[in-house]
Amino acid sequence: MGVNFPLVLLLATSITGVIWLLDIMYFRPRRERSGRETKILGGDDEAIGKELKESKLIEYSISFFPVLAIVLVLRSFLFEPFQIPTGSMIPTLQVGDFILVNKYSYGLRLPVFGTKVVDIGQPKNGDVMVFIPPHEKEYFIKRVIGIPGDKIRYQNKTLFINDQKQNLDFISQYPPINPEYLVYNESLGETEHGIHRNPYVDPRILEWRVPPGNYFMMGDNRDQSSDSRYWGFVPEKNIVGKAIAVWLHKEPGLKFPEIDKNRWIE
């Protein structure tokens, strides 16, 4: 795992905040007292100003703390940006999409620790969700396929939820001859979205029962996705938020960012 940015942000905000508070309670009164003593002793304005001036550490902490605090609140409790690094959610999300994640859709959580402090809502089937999977400390994004208590069956590359077949409409194939993948429109609860499948038949029948406090996740690029079929369920405490929009797209390499692909995520 790379740099733990939420932890770094929390530590930076805490450290600068403590220094700012110490300055208000201790260092600033001491500087002001020294300034008054210098003035009484006949010191000039330059000498008085030198006594009143805070150190560089205090100066930088006072400057950065409000900015860091605002970023921490916005990022932890409201919205957070992410970039899509893989093609597991094609065609819904493309490699290079920058997405916006709603952090309060599923309740307010403490930064870094992930503990829910205010319960607002719960994930539902069809949501596109950012989370930390149980097998590694990285952010993943997949679609919610099963909520606690659901019975999931994957048969002939078709989903059955609680023994109800989810509607699947064929759209196209690419390329038209000897296709590499097939495009379908899938209905999942109240959500309709595109999925990709390879053309090969899979005779296996896979079944799961989602335990309490857990969720079953799958990528829309069904045969090119590492998801709950392979590493299991996502605990509720690992939820980060609901992906709601693409606000920027940038192709890999030396390409300019594009805003004409901005859209809501279905």
CB-based contacts of 159, cutoff 8 Å, min separation 6: 145, 152, 153, 165, 166, 168, 186, 188
- The answer to whether residue 88 is catalytic is yes
Q: Can you say how many angstroms the Cα of residue 178 is from the centroid of all Cα atoms in its chain?
A: 37
Q: What angle do CA 138, 140, 141 make, to 5 degrees?
A: 160
Cα–Cα dist 108/82, whole Å: 18
CB-based contacts of 219, cutoff 8 Å, min separation 6: 88, 89, 142, 143, 225, 226, 227
Cα–Cα dist 167/160, whole Å: 9
Could you tell me where the DSSP H helices lie in the chain?
A: 5-22, 28-40, 45-52, 56-73, 228-231
State the catalytic residue, choosing from 61, 76, 103, 142: 142
State the catalytic residue, choosing from 61, 76, 88, 225: 88
Look-up of token digits 């979205």:
193
Residues 194/220, Cβ–Cβ less than 8 Å: yes
Cα–Cα dist 266/257, whole Å: 22
- The answer to whether residue 165 is catalytic is no
Active site residues: 88, 142
